[in-house]
């Protein structure tokens, strides 16, 4: 009886060890997938705020350029008006 059980037991024991090994690997794969998802999301949100700031800056610069340029404004001389 013991002789019969031993190889089977060993096999089953080995199988459990294998399964634990596989389980460790698959849970790490899931962690990697979760990390990738959250990284993606956080990166996108940061890039979006960056985008907003950039657009705001661009509009301000456009306005300032318009103010400074001679096309859109006039520069009156110091002194009394006509």
Q: Are 51 and 57 in contact (CB under 8 A)?
A: no
> Which residue, 1 or 71, is less far from another protein as judged by CB?
71
- Exactly one of 5, 6, 9, 14 binds another protein (CB under 8 A); that residue is 14
Per-residue x/- track, 31-50, another protein (CB under 8 A): -xx--x--xx--xx--x--x
DSSP 8-state secondary structure symbol assigned to residue 27: H
> Which residue, 6 or 12, is less far from another protein as judged by CB?
12
Per CB under 8 A, does 10 bind another protein? no
Distances from the Cα of 47 to the Cα of 14, 43, 50, 54, 72, angstroms: 49, 6, 5, 10, 34
């Amino acid at each position: 009886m013991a002789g019969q059980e031993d190889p089977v037991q060993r096999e089953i024991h080995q199988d459990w060890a294998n399964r634990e090994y596989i389980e460790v690997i698959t849970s790490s794969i899931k962690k990697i997938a979760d990390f990738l998802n959250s990284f993606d999301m956080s990166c996108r949100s940061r890039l979006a705020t960056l985008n907003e700031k950039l657009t705001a800056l661009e509009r301000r610069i456009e306005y300032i350029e318009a103010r400074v340029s001679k096309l859109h404004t006039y520069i009156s001389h110091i002194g009394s008006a006509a």
